[in-house]
């Protein structure tokens, strides 16, 4: 029985996803661009925190103790940016992906030792898992080097990461389930909407509109649909077709959270990119080779673009045309996700109309 279970798990890891280099490379670039628009984390402010607030959880910050040197954190931020640049241009992609994740884990372990903790763990560990997909195999400097020709794209990290996503949503839904969200006499969603409305000076988007809705049935439907989504997401990880639709639902779910609660999980939706690219581009190796050849033929143009972006990132300079509101990332990904939820007949009709044009 144990051998049978092990065989099923191995089969699920190895055969659920079969990405190509182009999908992975494009996911890497969009992830980096989205992260750049949102804003790369900076940790130099840690040097200015009062030590009285230092209360580290279990981790490196507890073992090493407080680090208050401003020079250390300035140099640390510089290393973070350099590793991010290498990740963006795809130079030594596997190793800088691992390095970038560990740097973020180290920096956030100290930042969170002084107070508020953000729910950004998936964005932090995402490059670590993607490192083993070989997502530097296309649209990268690594892909221009002959030594990279023997590597193959791997799908098992996508399967493992899908499990972590499912587990993350499940652990978010379980406390809601046992915490009273099923109670038909009141709505927790309504309470969150009201709290956000009265706790900010200028509510965004639809928050004020939903405050004016005085209908318990509508709010309970939001409560129940949230529970169904968060608790049921983990079940979909075993079927790629179903999981891709769940990713589309997840993106729209976070859009709804932004519109109604004014809470933006912008970086979280960036980790959906490999699955979204998997949906939009087929798994044939010809597609990867086609775009890689275009990249190689125009490599000087791309290298210049990479160089310009790299300089701006390292020196932390953003020209006015590149100052884009971070919410545009979430809106863009949600637009891409809508087609993932449309019925197949409509999808085929859309594709045919697109081809005719």
262-293, pLDDT tens digit by residue? Answer: 888 888 899 999 999 998 887 566 667 777 78
From residue 326, give the alpha-carbon distance in Å to each of 15, 37, 257.
35, 6, 15
Which pLDDT band, with edges at 50, 70 and 90, does 344 fall under? low
d(CA 31, CA 267): 9
Residues 160/134, Cβ–Cβ less than 8 Å: no
User: Residue 321 above 60 pLDDT?
Assistant: no
Q: What pLDDT is recorded for position 345?
A: 60
User: Residue 353 above 50 pLDDT?
Assistant: no
Least confident segment among 55-64, 228-237, 345-354: 345-354
Other CB atoms within 10 Å distance of the CB of residue 275? 27
Residues 106/252, Cβ–Cβ less than 8 Å: no
Q: What is the mean pLDDT of residues 89-95?
A: 92
User: Residue 350 above 80 pLDDT?
Assistant: no
Tens digit of pLDDT for each residue in 122-152? 999 999 999 999 999 888 998 887 655 578 8
In a 13 Å sphere around the CA of 254, the CA atoms on its Cβ side amount to 25
Percentage of residues of the chain with pLDDT beyond 70: 90
Mean pLDDT score of the chain: 85
Q: What pLDDT is recorded for position 312?
A: 80
- Terminal Cα distance for the chain, rounded: 55
Q: What pLDDT is recorded for position 283?
A: 59
User: Residue 305 above 50 pLDDT?
Assistant: yes
Least confident segment among 4-18, 176-190, 311-325: 311-325
Which pLDDT band, with edges at 50, 70 and 90, does 357 fall under? very low
Least confident segment among 156-165, 197-206, 216-225: 197-206
Other CB atoms within 10 Å distance of the CB of residue 172? 15
Contacts of 292 (CB under 8 A, 6+ apart): 21, 22, 138, 139, 143
3-state SS class at 156: helix
Q: What pLDDT is recorded for position 356?
A: 35
Which pLDDT band, with edges at 50, 70 and 90, does 249 fall under? very high
Angle between helices 70-89 and 93-111 (to 10 degrees): 150
Q: What pLDDT is recorded for position 164?
A: 94
């Amino acid at each position: 029985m144990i051998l049978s279970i092990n065989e099923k798990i191995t089969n699920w890891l190895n055969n659920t996803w079969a990405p190509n280099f182009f999908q992975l490379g494009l996911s890497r670039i969009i992830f980096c661009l989205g992260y750049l628009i949102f804003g790369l984390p900076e940790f130099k402010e840690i040097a200015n925190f009062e030590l009285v607030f230092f209360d580290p959880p279990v981790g490196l910050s507890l073992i090493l103790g407080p680090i208050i040197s401003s020079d250390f954190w300035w140099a640390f931020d510089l290393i973070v940016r350099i590793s991010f640049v290498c990740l963006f241009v795809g130079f030594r992609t596997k190793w800088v992906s691992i390095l970038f994740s560990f740097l973020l884990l180290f920096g956030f372990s100290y930042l969170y030792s002084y107070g508020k903790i953000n729910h950004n763990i998936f964005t932090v560990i995402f490059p670590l898992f993607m490192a083993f997909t070989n997502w530097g195999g296309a649209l990268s400097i690594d892909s221009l080097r002959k030594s990279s020709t023997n590597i193959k794209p791997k799908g098992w990290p996508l399967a493992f990461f899908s499990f972590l996503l499912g587990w993350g949503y499940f652990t978010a839904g379980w406390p809601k389930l046992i915490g009273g969200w099923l109670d038909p006499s009141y709505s927790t969603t309504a309470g969150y909407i009201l709290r956000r409305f009265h706790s900010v000076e200028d509510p965004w988007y639809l928050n004020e509109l939903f405050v004016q809705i005085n209908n318990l049935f509508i709010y309970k439907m939001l409560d129940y649909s949230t529970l169904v989504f968060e608790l049921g997401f983990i079940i979909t990880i075993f079927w790629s077709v179903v999981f891709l639709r769940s990713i589309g639902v997840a993106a729209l779910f976070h859009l709804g959270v932004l519109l109604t609660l004014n809470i933006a999980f912008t970086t979280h939706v960036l980790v959906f990119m490999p699955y979204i690219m998997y949906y939009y581009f087929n798994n044939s190796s010809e597609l990867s080779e086609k775009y890689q050849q275009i990249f190689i033929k125009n490599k000087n143009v791309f290298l210049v673009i990479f160089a310009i972006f790299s300089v701006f990132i390292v020196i932390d300079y953003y020209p006015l045309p590149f100052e884009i509101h971070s919410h545009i990332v979430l809106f863009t990904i949600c637009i891409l996700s809508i087609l993932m939820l449309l019925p197949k007949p409509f999808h085929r009709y859309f594709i045919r109309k697109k081809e005719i044009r």
